[in-house]
Amino acid sequence: MATSMQKLVGVSQEDDEEEMEMDVKEEDDEDEENGEKQIAAQMMIGVDEVMPSTSSSDQFQYQPQLQEQVSNQSGGGGARRSRPLEEKERTKLRERHRRAITARILAGLRRHGNYNLRVRADINDVIAALAREAGWVVLPDGTTFPSRSQSSPAAGTSAGMTSSSSQMVSQQIPPPPATLQGVSSGYRTTVEYNACRMKGVFMPTPSHYDLSSTAPAQSLGVVADGGEQTERLPLIAGSTQVINDKQIIGLPTKLPERDFAGTPYVPVYVMLPLGVINMKCELADPDGLLKQLRVLKSINVDGVMVDCWWGIVEAHAPQEYNWNGYQRLFQMVRELKLKLQVVMSFHECGGNVGDDVCIPLPHWVAEIGRSNPEIFFTDREGRRNPECLSWGIDKERVLRGRTAVEVYFDYMRSFRVEFDEFFEDGIISMVEVGLGPCGELRYPSCPVKHGWRYPGIGEFQCYDQYMLKSLRKAAEMRGHSFWARGPDNAGSYNSQPHETGFFCDGGGYDGYYGRFFLNWYSQVLLNHGDRVLSLAKLAFDGTCITAKLPGIHWWYKAASHAAELTAGYYNPCNRDGYTAIATMLQKHGAALSFSCAEHHILEQQDHLREALADPRGLVWQVLNAAWDVSIPIASENAFLCHDRAQPTSHGETEFHGI
C-alpha cells in the first residue's frame, strides 16, 4: 500500500513539473507573440493615422516614430528569448510555491467561508469573491469599482488606464484643473455582472463609474488632425487625455450626490415606548406622550408604531376586550395628523433585550397553562417557555373551546370593528401580525431566561406533546417511525456548531434523518404563518399587513447556519430557506418586515468575526427573496440609536419604514 502511494505521489509530482514546464514555455511563447502583435498593431495604427491625412509632411512625421517603436520592440523580444536557464528554474519554483499557497487558501474558503468557488479557481477568483462580498462590482475582465452602496472614493489623486481602441484619436485634451484621475470602465451594464453568493444574488445599483448603455453619460466630440469629428465617446466627466495609446479620464474631485428624484417615497415611523399603555389599558403618561408626539410631528415623521398587547386587552376573560387606552392614544395621533402602524402582539413582553416593562399573556391563558403546560413551547430538557403559545395547538381546542388561531382571529376582528373609523380614514396604514416570540415568525430558540447568551446556537423547541404528535405523524408517513424524535446531538443553548455532532461540518443536519427533521421543523413554521396571515387578511381586508422576521446573522458563515436552523429557518449553505417564507407572504399579499437592516455597521467588530456572522450577506439574501416575489419590504432597526460610528444602546425597534 505504501509503495503504491509513493508511486502515485511521484506521478503527481512529475505531472506538476511537466505542467509547470509547459506553463513557462507557454508564457515565453505568449510574450513573443504579444510583442509581435503589439508591433503589428502599432504598424496598423500608424497606417490608419496616416491615411486620413492629406498632408505629406504629416505622413513623414509618423514614419520615424513607427521605425523607432519597431526597433525598440524587437530589441525587447530578443532579450526575452535569451533568458538564462537558471531564471526559468526559479520561475518554476516560484510558480509551484504560489500554487501550493493558492490551494490552501481555496480549501479553507470552501470549507469555512461558504465561498462558491469553481474547482479550478485561482487567486484571481479569491480576490474577486472577497471584493464582491465587500460590495464592489468585479467585471469578468478584472475591472473593479464600487457599487452605489459604497461611499465615494477618498480625496486624492490616483491614475488608472485602459487600452484604447484602434480608432482612438491621438490628439491630447488637457483635463480641467483639480480633477481626480479615474478608470474608464467598459460599456456593458453592471446587471450582467452581478456578484453572486451562495445565498441569493447581490444586485448592485449602477455606480458613478458605470458607463453602461442604459445610464445617461456625458459625451465629448473630439476632432482629429484631419478635421473630421470622431464618434462621441461616453465619459464620466468632461475631459479625457490620450498618452502613449492609453486613455485617462478626468473625474471631478467630488462625485455628484445621489439623486432620489423619481424614486418611491419611504415613510418613517417611530416606535412608541412599550409601556405607553399600562395594565389597566390606560395611558401611562398622557401629557408626556403628547409632548413627544408634537416633537415627532415637528421633525416631519410620518407616524408612530404601537403594540396592541393581547395580555392587556383580553386580560381577564375570553372575548372580553378593553380598548379604552388605545382609543385615547389613537385620537391624539389623529389630532396631530400623524398615521399609525399597529402590532397585534400575541406574545409576552419582558425578559428579552430591550424589554423595559413586563406584560404577560392574558391571565386566563396562564391559568390554562398551569393545568396544561403543553400549550407552551418546550425544549429538550422539558423547560417551558410561556412567552407565546406553541404552534402545536393552532388547531387544538384547548383554549376554553377555541383553537389558538381562532383566538387570534377573534382578537383581530374585535380590533378592526372597534377602530373602523381609523381604517376608513387611512389613519391606520399598516397592521403587523404577531406570529411568535417578540412578534417574529420564528421559534423561541434563544430565550435569555433559560440561560442563552450570544452567540449560542440555541435549541430546538419541539418537545411539547402537540409538536411531538405532529412529528410522529410525519415520521410515520415517511415510513420511519423511529425518526419521531428530536436530534440527540444538537448541543445546548450556548454551544457552537463545531462542538456538536449535528451542526458541525458534515454533521447530522445534512444526513437523511437531519434533512427530514429540519424539513418538518421549518414546515411547521410556514404552516403557522400561513394560517394566521390568511385570517389576518380576512380581518383587515383593504389594509396592508406585514410579518416580521429577525436577523439571525451569527454562524451565517458556518456551513450549517446552526442558529437559523434552531429558529426554524432551514437555510444551510446548500439550501435557500427564505424563498418559501417570501412566497407564503406573497400568497397573502403581506409585506416583509426585517429587523437586521443596520447591522452592516457592526461587521468589523470582533464578536461578529468570532461568531462567523455575516449581517450584510443575510440582509441581501432576505431582500432578494422578497424582491423575487415582488412583495413590499419594511425595515426595522434593532437599536434605539445608531450612527456611522457605532450603536449607542440596544433596544426595541425605533424607526420603521416601508
**What residues act catalytically?**
440, 636
Task: Give the cell for residue 467.
Answer: 409538536
Strand ranges, E, within 282-380: 303-309, 339-345, 376-378
Question: Which residue(s) pair with 180 in the sheet?
Answer: 251
Cα→Cα distances 361→129, 294, 356, Å: 48, 32, 16
Angle at which helices 615-628 and 579-587 cross, to 10°? 40
Residue 157 and residue 180 in contact, taking contact as beta carbons nearer than 8 Å: yes
Strand ranges, E, within 530-648: 544-549, 591-594, 633-636, 639-641
Which residues touch 419 (CB under 8 Å, ≥6 apart)? 323, 326, 327, 330, 428
Dist CA 56 CA 53 (whole Å): 8
Compute the CA torsion angle 432, 434, 437, 443 (nearest 10 deg).
-100
Question: Which residue(s) pair with 247 in the sheet?
Answer: 162, 242
Residue 223 burial (CB count, 10 A): 11
Compute the CA torsion angle 384, 390, 395, 399 (nearest 10 deg).
60
- H helix runs in 82-227, sequence order: 85-112, 123-133
Residue 119 burial (CB count, 10 A): 6
Structural element, H or E, at residue 246: strand 246-252
Nearest to 128 by CA among 636, 590, 136: 136
**3-state SS record for 456-481:** CCCCCCCCCHHHHHHHHHHHHHHCCH
| Three-class secondary structure of residue 656 per DSSP | strand
Residue 96 and residue 16 in contact, taking contact as beta carbons nearer than 8 Å: yes
The type of residue at 306 is V
Q: How far is CA 579 from the centre of its chain?
A: 13
β-strand pairing of 544-549 with 591-594: parallel
How many angstroms separate the first and last alpha carbons of the chain? Answer: 66
Give φ, ψ of 203 to 5 degrees: -105, 90
Dist CA 382 CA 362 (whole Å): 23
Which residues touch 143 (CB under 8 Å, ≥6 apart)? 162, 183, 185, 186
User: Longest C-alpha distance within the chain, in Å?
Assistant: 107
Dist CA 21 CA 559 (whole Å): 38
Residue 285 and residue 254 in contact, taking contact as beta carbons nearer than 8 Å: no
Nearest to 272 by CA among 242, 305, 308, 248: 305
Q: Rounded to 5 degrees, what angle do the CA atoms 339, 341, 346 make?
A: 155
Residue 339 burial (CB count, 10 A): 20
Which residues touch 170 (CB under 8 Å, ≥6 apart)? 49, 224, 225, 242
Name residue, grid cell 453619460.
217
Dist CA 153 CA 160 (whole Å): 14
What is the DSSP code string of 478-516?
HT-GGG-S--SSS--TT--GGGSTTTSTT-GGGSHHHHH
